[in-house]
Amino acid sequence: MGCGVGRLWVFLVGAACLLGTRAAALGVVERLIVIRDQLEVRRTDFIISAIQQIDDIIAELSLSDPGPSATKGKSVGFHDNFARDDSSRFSFISTAALSEDAFLMTPGTPRRDYNFLYQEFEEMETKLKAANQKVEELHERCFELEEELRNKRLAEGDQVSGPTETGGQTVTAEEHYRMPSHTKSPSLDGDAGRVPVKAASNGMPAHFFTMKRDLMERSKALEKCLDDLDRKSAVESKLNAEITEKTNLLQHIDRFHQDRMTKMENEMGQAVVQLRQCEEREQKVHKKLSTSLSELDGARRFIDRLRQRATGADADRQRLLASIAEMTEASKRRETQQQMIVDCLEQEREQLKRLNDIAAVAHLEEKTQLQSGLAKAMQSHARDCEFEQKCRTLQQQLEEVHKAINQSASDRASSAEEHTRTTQRLAAEIDQLKISLDECRADVQDRQQEIDRMGSLAGMHEAQCNSLSGSLVNATATITAKDTEIDSLKRELNRARDATKNIEVQLEGMRNAILSFHSGK
């Protein structure tokens, strides 16, 4: 009996452990739902929040008592779970459900749901102990009655005989007591209820029959006690048979429970390995995502800097183009001015050439006229001396003409020198303008080279922007992969919900099994 109660107690402890596992699984599922909601709100921070939430779950499950809310106020059973084999029931169990405290008999969780079972089993055990004690008391009372009867028989005499019981034969008191007549009720008077005292034919005393009557009454009481004892023994045998049957059933359930627990431990170990792998993958993904986000931020900042620099370069380019246009316009104006100056110089050269030609022609004409006049004067002097004075006058005139010619030649020479100096000055200015034009052209070439360099830098920046765009595409692909992984986590969460529903169905079957077992008990 004690062994059966112990087996039943072990059975209830196992059921309580399963209840603790279910409570832990429900807690984990609820926290995973919260995590899922947080993931849908903000996907970029889902790994950090998930790790923090899982750490909180592990800490709470290792230190707290789930309480009766884990079973929602229901009493769950265990027996019906062994009539089926569903390996997918424990396909998703968190590491929080594998903590040692989840398998311990925490005070309050199953005891509050099974108090009536414990009380009834304790009452049954108390009643059984009381029945055993009563049986022992009856045994002791029977022994006392037998001892008292034996003592009285020995006190009255060692032998008794009578013609009615033994047919005149002498027998011992014990054999006389065992006669068939003692198993029936003696003939009693209706009023006194006593056997009439008669003198024995064999010389026995009269009070012997009174003692015999008392002994018969006591034997009847003893037979009644023996009948009660037989009934109690039959009840005890029946109870022992039921207890043996229940003990065998409990042993079978215990063995099956041990097998299932071993299988569950293996499955939970695999689930732990899978969960650790998932955590490692999540950490790797978190690191990659953090790196990608940092790279993306750096790329965005670099793109912003490139855009700013490109904007500044465009502004510089516009300013350079404007300055180049201004310089081009200035150079065009200078070229126009130079062309005008050259045209003026050409015109002045042509005019000076014409003046020189005119002066040469005039000089030749004057020289020719003077020579002809001199010849005429000499001829006239030779022919006529009278005209000497006239010749002198003419000579003076000629000298004056020569002076005038020399004066005009000096004036022409000074004007030619002035024109030459002007031409040289204009040529120097033209050379200076050419030097300025060359400098402007060199500056324009430098600006063009700087523009080309800025264009190459802009091309390089554009290539970098293209590479950053590729990085952005890769980051987008990574984010898409993370979304896919989040969808897979959601599917795992749905599978965990299905497993939780299966566990609830199994626990309901366990509850029904315990209730049926209790009703059969």
Annotate 373-428 with DSSP letters as a single string: HHHHHHHHHHH-GGGHHHHHHHHHHHHHHHHHHHHHHHHHHHHHHHHHHHHHHHHH
Token pair 């029904």 is found at 512
Residues β-bridged to residue 170: 161
C-beta separation of 419 from 348 below 8 A: yes
Closest CA to 81 of 20, 16, 15, 27: 15
- pLDDT tens-digit map of 225-236: 778 777 877 877
Element (H, E) at 250: helix 207-383
Most confident of 74-83, 190-199, 447-456, 490-499: 490-499
Q: Average model confidence (pLDDT) for the chain?
A: 63
Distance CA 405, CA 304 (A): 85
In the chain, the percentage of residues whose pLDDT exceeds 70 is 37
How much is the pLDDT for 66? 42
Q: What contacts 501, CB < 8 A, 6 or more positions away? A: none
Distance CA 260, CA 325 (A): 91
C-beta separation of 37 from 493 below 8 A: no
Element (H, E) at 83: none
By residue count, the chain amounts to 521
Distance CA 174, CA 152 (A): 11
| Range with lowest mean pLDDT among 124-133, 310-319, 394-403 | 394-403
For every residue of 126-140, DSSP letters joined together read HHHHHHHHHHHHHHH
How much is the pLDDT for 242? 77
Torsion sign, CA atoms 387, 389, 394, 398: positive
How much is the pLDDT for 251? 79
pTM for the model stands at 0.23
Closest CA to 430 of 514, 367, 341: 341
Tell whether the model's pLDDT for residue 208 goes beyond 70: no
Q: How far is CA 234 from CA 36, 237, 410, in A?
A: 63, 5, 175
How much is the pLDDT for 198? 41
Please count the other Cβ atoms lying within 10 Å of the Cβ belonging to residue 76: 26
How much is the pLDDT for 445? 76
Position 12: which residue type?
L
Distance CA 406, CA 398 (A): 12
**Token pair listed for 45:** 């921070």
- pLDDT tens-digit map of 137-166: 776 776 777 777 778 777 765 444 343 444
- pLDDT tens-digit map of 454-484: 667 666 766 766 676 676 677 667 777 767 7
How much is the pLDDT for 69? 40
Tell whether the model's pLDDT for residue 187 goes beyond 50: no
For the segment 323-331, the average pLDDT, to the nearest whole number, is 70
How much is the pLDDT for 484? 76
Angle at 76 between CA 70 and CA 80, to 5 degrees: 135
Tell whether the model's pLDDT for residue 259 goes beyond 80: yes
Which of residues 30 and 44 earns the better pLDDT score?
A: 30
Most confident of 13-27, 75-89, 466-480: 466-480
In the structure, what pLDDT confidence band is assigned to residue 99 with cuts at 50, 70 and 90? very low
Distance CA 188, CA 35 (A): 92
**Token pair listed for 444:** 């324009």
C-beta separation of 26 from 500 below 8 A: yes
For every residue of 425-489, DSSP letters joined together read HHHHHHHHHHHHHHHHHHHHHHHHHHHHHHHHHHHHHHHHHHHHHHHHHHHHHHHHHHHHHHHHH
Residues β-bridged to residue 510: 78
In the chain, the percentage of residues whose pLDDT exceeds 90 is 0
For the segment 55-59, the average pLDDT, to the nearest whole number, is 58
* Per-residue b or e along 492-503, where b marks 16 or more CB atoms closer than 10 Å to that residue's CB: bbeebeebbeeb
Cα dihedral 359/360/361/366 (nearest 10): 80
What is the 8-class DSSP label of residue 106? Answer: -
Torsion sign, CA atoms 372, 378, 382, 383: positive
For the segment 87-98, the average pLDDT, to the nearest whole number, is 36
| Range with lowest mean pLDDT among 220-229, 409-418, 481-490, 504-513 | 409-418
- pLDDT tens-digit map of 338-379: 677 667 667 766 766 676 677 667 667 766 766 666 566 556
For every residue of 142-201, DSSP letters joined together read HHHHHHHHHHHHHHH-SEEE-HHHHTT-EEEHHHHHTSGGGGSPPP--TTT-SPPP---T
Closest CA to 117 of 18, 19, 5: 5
How much is the pLDDT for 355? 66
